[in-house]
Amino acid sequence: MSRAFFGLFFAVSLFSESSFWNYSYSYTLKKDQVARIVIKKDYLPTIEKEGILEFRWTLYKADKLVLLVNYEGFPTQHLIEKRYRRDTVKVRLFGDYPSVSKEAFAIIRFRDFKNKKATFDVLVRDPEHRMEVRFK
């Protein structure tokens, strides 16, 4: 009985996780190549109508990667690696969410490094559908 319940729970959790993200895209970037994501906001209280999320990597050494992220003119630097819970960067896209479950954010996940190119997955969560995302 418990194995059947566990199997059903596992199947439901896999299905619900795939619908958790509203947008997803993969990038393979060379050093200092910029990935650009245009976020069109259709929400009045925000200052910017269109936000630009840019990121690039500059150094890969000892299985660690330096990632530079710029969202709406606010630059940040992150040191990430291919280990669990150290391979992602979270970028909050709106600052006015009423609860944590309704927060809009983007995750940049470092997946692999081969042939002097880094591969990233970008996942965007927008539970209230307040924006349009275009990957470039």
DSSP the chain: -HHHHHHHHHHHHHHHHHTT-SEEEEEEE-TTPPEEEEEEE--TT-S-SEEEEEEEEEEEETTEEEEEEEETTEEEEEEEESSTTSSEEEEES-S--SSGGG--EEEEEEEEEETTEEEEEEEEE-TT--EEEEE-
Percentage of the chain surpassing pLDDT 70?
A: 81
128 vs 91: which has the higher pLDDT: 91
53-95 pLDDT per residue, tens: 999 999 999 999 999 999 988 999 999 999 888 999 999 988 7
Average the pLDDT over 3-12 and give the result. Answer: 47
Q: Where are the domains of the chain?
A: 21-135
pTM to 2 decimals?
0.80
